[in-house]
A and B are shown apart, each in its own frame.
Chain A
Amino acid sequence: MVNVYVSTVLNASADTVWSRIRDFNAMPQWHPGIADSRIENDQAADRVGCIRHFHTRDGGMIREQLLALSDFEYSFTYEILESPMGVTNYISTLQLTPVTDGNRCFAEWSAEFECAPGREAELTQHIGQGVFQAGFDALKRAYG
């Protein structure tokens, strides 16, 4: 089992950031690596169990299923059903926590997964930096 953990501080309240990212279908609107997204079977994007079907900018197709959504804890959890990355049992959580000292929030994005032996470092780098940190960097730019 490989674990990836990335965290940052965003200069906006947890409520503000959450309103932007809680929509499971909204990744193209805030993450620079995502080209398009749709929710399969016309389901609502905040219905636990719904599946998002999207393409990355480099053309990869990924399907992910929403496993948990909490407006109280500002978090959602999802798993990968299909992707070109070569990961299995991939479960990821994005969570915001208010920082009471200032109009800021603490953002954590983590994943655990399994992969072929020897690919751990490459995938950790790709997911941790290429996906999670790249998303955080975009949010940091958005919230100055």
Chain B
Amino acid sequence: MLQKVVRSTIIDAPIERVWAVLRDFNSHDQWHDVVEASRIEGDERSDQVGCIRSFTLRDGDRIREQLLTLSDAKHVSTYCIVEATVPLQRYVATVTLKPVTDGNRTFWHWESTFATPPGRERELRDMVAQDVYEAGFANLRRHLQRGADLRASSSGGAATMTTMPTALPMPTRRIAVHRYGDASELHAEDAQASAPEAGEVRIRQRAIGVNYLDVYLRRGWIPHLLPLPGVPGMEAAGSVIDVGSQVTSLMPGDRVAYLGPAPGAYCSVRTVPAAWVVRLPPTIEDDVAAATLLKGITADYLLRDLAHVGPGTRLLVHAAAGGVGQLVCAWARRLGAIVLGTVSNEEKARLARARGCEHVIVTRDYRFADAVQRACGGADVVIDGLGDAARDENLAALARRGHWISLGQASGPLAPLPPDALLAKSLTFSRPVVFDYVTTQVSLAERAQRVWTALADGTLPAPLIERHALAAAAQAHARLESRATTGALVLIA
């Protein structure tokens, strides 16, 4: 008769962190006291289904076990004994982890069935239940409390450390561009997320921000930034799977968001420099972070560093109901600016007004200079994502010593601007990019914190988020380019 043993516990750590240890079929000699030494036979990887671990126990017994099932989606590992000096026959065991969503802990269920020689049922059941499973729970708990799972990948001392679970590539689903063109050039494909090297972290992404920059990349307007084949996307939010050496500020399981100067965010798992990454406060959900990080930090450097917006500043914001536009309007208004905005239809006009834009100009043909001059006598600052079609109107809408900040080029790349075009009114022209304002982790964290604070105290409105599945990135791009969206687009991985 088959014996059955079931043991379960709760581990006070996020499931990603517990799974990073348990998914490695060869990790048990690092955390389980009963295991003396273990190796994977035949130079196979420890997450290769079918691989065999050969190990010795402290008491001298030898066991060979084969990995039968490994599911990162369900956090399940099943294995069997193929040969052993202990009389466990037809032994098949399953480790299952489940998230305790209420508290970010982990439920760990460990069960097995096996046969024994007659008369030894109880003895062997107790051995498996107590010496292996219950002791294993306590040992793994201690291993995590010591942070041994985090140190292991950075110690680099022992040769066995090179086979840490987390040192292996992981599958990722990504959206790639193989030919520049319209939204239909975005295609889903399978790829690998490399193990984090020194200074890197690997992130399980849950929400990915969609920005107009991604559209430019896809169209081939900035080919040096997105060589083919390439994966667009500059920002995402999720949780840390594992970290490379020299990463001290982040731990597996941390909820994070990132913003980086190299595209590649349209995927489910990504490895990025830790310097791009900020931890998320509990109040900021993944989709809010992905919808707000790049756009909010853009608003922060525009208003603080570049435009020096304060009481009475006359600020003209194009696409005032867009992702950046809404944030700029709301924040500038709180700083005391006189906010003017352009939008393409009445619905967007209502939204822009609700966000603090006092003078809304509805225009679909990029004509607004007269209205701006009438409303306020000219703008001190123009924040412009329209591009070439609006260039003459922008010059005409500016006041003396005005500052034209060209942020984007939705209508087409900006033609070269002769310096004398600025001379008539002593104008200034800027062409900034957000990544130059977050060049250190400290500056990124400071700016991100100002954005989270502004969201928390109501200075910035909770973003309106339009969600699309990662696989439907093409649909999200088409929506963005149709000018039909209000607020921020987010891909859910």
Contact = CB atoms under 8 A, between A and B. Distances in A.
Interface of A: 5-9, 97-102, 104, 106, 108, 118, 120-121, 133, 136
Contacts of A133: 102
Interface in B454-480: 465-467
Given A5-B99, A5-B101, A108-B98, 7 more contacts: A7-B99, A7-B101, A9-B103, A100-B7, A100-B9, A102-B9, A106-B8
Contact of A7 (B6, B8, B9, B107): B107
Q: Which 3 A-B pairs have the closest CB atoms?
A: A101-B9, A8-B102, A106-B107
28 contacts: A5-B99, A5-B101, A6-B101, A7-B100, A7-B101, A7-B107, A9-B10, A9-B102, A9-B105, A97-B8, A97-B107, A97-B109, A99-B10, A99-B107, A100-B8, A101-B8, A101-B9, A101-B134, A104-B10, A106-B8, A106-B10, A106-B100, A108-B98, A118-B466, A121-B287, A121-B465, A121-B467, A133-B102
A106 B465 CA distance: 33
B471 to A, nearest CB: 14
Interface of B: 6-10, 98-103, 105, 107, 109, 134, 137, 287, 465-467
Nearest to A120: B467
B101 A101 contact: no
B107 A9 contact: yes
Contacts of A99: 8-10, 107
Chain A CB within 10 Å, residue with most, of B101, B137, B287: B101
Q: Is the interface of A mostly helix, strand, loop or mixed?
A: strand
A8 B99 CA distance: 9
B101 A8 contact: yes
Contacts of B137: 101
B125 to A, nearest CB: 13
Nearest to A6: B101
B235 to A, nearest CB: 19
Nearest to B134: A101
A136 B102 contact: yes
Given A9-B105, A101-B134, A106 B98 contact: yes
A7 B102 contact: yes
A120 B98 CA distance: 23
Contacts of A101: 7-10, 134, 137
A37 to B, nearest CB: 25
A114 to B, nearest CB: 14
B100 A9 contact: yes
Contacts of A121: 287, 465, 467
A108 B102 CA distance: 10
A98 B105 CA distance: 16
Nearest to A137: B102
